Amino acid sequence: MGSLDIHIGEILARNARLYPNDVALIERVPAEGTRKEMTWKQFDEQANRFANVLMKKGIKKGDKVIHLMMNSLDWLIAYFGIIRTGAWAVPLNFRFSGSDIKYCCEVAEPQCMVFSEEFIDRVTGIKGELPTVKDYIFVGKESPGYAEPFKRLVETSPSTPLTVHIHYDDPCGLYFTSGTTGQPKPILLTHKNMICACITENAHHYQKKGDNFILIPPLYHTGSKMHWFGSFIVGGRAVILKGVAPEWILQAISEEKATVVFLLVPWAQDILLKLDSGEIKLKDYDLRQWRLMHIGAQPVPPSLVKHWKEYFPNMAYDTNYGLSESTGPGCVHLGLENEHKVGAIGLPGFNWETRIVDEGGNDVGKGDVGELVVRGDGVMREYYKNPEATAKALRNGWLYTGDMAKEDEDGFIFLVDRKKDLIISGGENIFPVEIEDFLHTLAGVKDIAAIGSPDERLGEVVTVIIDVVPGRTITEEEVLKYCEKLPKYKRPRKVFFGEVPRNPTGKIEKPKLRKKYAGMEEAFKIK
């Protein structure tokens, strides 16, 4: 291959050449008690087979293929098969409704759709409204009449490698944002972006061939896949774990001798709750080889990390910051050697630059709050077909993240909050993460969200929604009393008790909470 033919699919081919008989992927489905594994050679050949299926159907470089599946070995086979044709993989959020899927198809204009059985009803319901989709490929047992079965197509297709010339800067994926703040935005990523994610993640977490990565979050999202890329680039194995119960996670780590695990905040909280209650006991698992737990995708309460270290004092911890527009995590990271700075998202990532700027794009002073902007090889090419949004987000090579942050005297960056989530009360700026981190230290709080509610006099007041640890009780009076330690303008004026909804990547779905709670009368509080 020439120097310009370095692409994400070639890393898989190289692993197959170097480690043909080594296990690449393991799929565990604890609810069904099943386990499957696949070697690098098998992975590579299956991807080639699916690429040949697509080529035979006329899929060519620059075409788009909708990829709508739950996590599985087949998810990755399909993904690498798509990109080896030079087409763009368009992985969609498994929570998208039929109308969301239709919208994404209108933007992407795909020629083909690969989908699994969980999506039959949604796809069938909109099929007549997708004029560009010529072929439907179904991953599952009983294929609907309009779709061809993935398994049969792959089994009868040759494993011959394709000869498509793929350039380092060619697009390879169209990733739609989760859509929690309006219609999903299509983010165009290139092979260069993907390789940047491989290198950055590996540089941060020192993954070696002997590491085993537990892969739990949804693969359609950049965060999960790009963390795995750090192992992928060195041929390390990974376990696709379908299920997030604490017992299943610890069992998989123990039985598969896993070394690196990426968790979302709610999963780490659930493990700690069951350890605290005695429902699970560490002595029942062999976790000696587990060297690193890292978290990303949302602000991490320092109290959670402190609690974690009480159970796992010798385990390394890291937090990662990123966004789909930066090809997932890594543009900022804490670093394994910087646990003394827990609470910060960290320093500029490997081969990344950061700044914190005011509304005019000028650098703010140390300790002052501004918008975090980043620059590096992971920055997306564009918001596809949306030049206005692209121009707003990309300025002079810098990606404007929409996240408000500040930097301490040592250069560590602290995430303050999303720009759009800012609460302005009586002219004072209040950042919800501050309130959330504070209330996470109140005994009995499982999860917490802070939002602004309209107020005639102050404009907005702080409202908190608290999810209480099962078996515990917390009263509104206790919460308000505890919050007397906060400056008066930051204290919650309204307290609700209920579930804190999070999307598949762990982010709090604040638009849902604002719709449900903001402006509600006192009499309607949920107790």
Which part of the chain is CATH 3.30.300.30? 422-524
DSSP classification of residue 284: G
Tokens of 485: 């330690």
Residue type, 31: A
Task: Please give the full DSSP string across 158-187, using - where no structure is assigned.
Answer: --PPP-----TTSEEEEEE---TTSSPPEE
User: In this structure, are residues 227 and 202 in contact, taking their beta carbons and an 8 Å threshold?
Assistant: no
Residue that has been written with the tokens 């587990």 in this structure: 290
Candidates 225, 187, 205, 204; CA nearest to 348 is 204
> Which of 285-289's residues contact partners 24+ apart within 8 Å by CB, and which partners?
285/250, 285/251, 285/253, 285/254, 286/254, 286/257, 287/250, 287/253, 287/254, 287/312, 289/257, 289/258, 289/259
Residue that has been written with the tokens 């690193």 in this structure: 292
Residue that has been written with the tokens 């762990």 in this structure: 506
Instruction: For domain 3-19+36-191, give the fold.
Output: Rossmann fold (3.40.50)
Sheet holding 445-455, edge to edge: 445-455, 459-468, 494-497
Residue 198 Cα distances to 208, 222, 230, 504, angstroms:
12, 12, 5, 22
CA dihedral 290→328→334→374, nearest 10 degrees, is 170
Q: What is the pLDDT of residue 251?
A: 98
Q: What is the pLDDT of residue 145?
A: 95
Q: What is the pLDDT of residue 519?
A: 53
Type and span of the H or E element at 97: none
User: In this structure, are residues 201 and 11 in contact, taking their beta carbons and an 8 Å threshold?
Assistant: no
User: In this structure, are residues 237 and 337 in contact, taking their beta carbons and an 8 Å threshold?
Assistant: no
Type and span of the H or E element at 463: strand 459-468
Burial of 301 per CB tally in 10 Å (0-12, 13-18, 19+): buried
Q: How far apart are CA 511 and CA 203, in angstroms?
A: 36
pTM value is 0.84
Q: Is the dihedral of CA 266, 267, 268, 274 positive or negative?
A: positive
Q: How far apart are CA 449 and CA 136, in angstroms?
A: 41
Give 229's contacts (C-beta < 8 A, 6+ positions apart).
Answer: 194, 197, 198, 201, 202
Which part of the chain is CATH 3.40.50.12780? 3-19+36-191
Phi, psi of 199 (to 5 degrees): -70, -45
Q: How far apart are CA 524 and CA 527, in angstroms?
A: 9
pLDDT, one tens digit for every residue, the chain (527 residues): 444 567 899 999 999 999 999 999 999 999 999 999 999 999 999 999 999 999 999 999 999 999 999 999 999 999 999 999 999 999 998 888 898 899 999 999 999 999 999 999 999 999 999 999 999 999 999 999 999 999 999 999 999 999 999 999 999 999 998 644 457 889 999 999 999 999 999 999 999 999 999 999 889 988 778 899 999 999 999 999 999 999 999 999 999 999 999 998 888 989 999 999 999 999 999 999 999 999 876 667 788 899 999 999 999 999 988 989 999 889 999 999 998 998 899 999 999 999 999 999 999 999 999 999 999 999 999 999 999 999 999 999 999 998 889 999 999 999 886 667 778 776 677 878 888 888 988 999 999 999 888 876 677 889 999 999 998 999 999 999 999 888 787 889 889 999 998 876 667 888 788 888 875 433 233 32
Q: How far apart are CA 91 and CA 45, in angstroms?
A: 21
DSSP classification of residue 469: P
Q: How far apart are CA 317 and CA 343, in angstroms?
A: 12
Q: How far apart are CA 315 and CA 250, in angstroms?
A: 14
Q: How far apart are CA 157 and CA 84, in angstroms?
A: 15
CATH 3.40.50.970 fits 422-524, yes or no: no
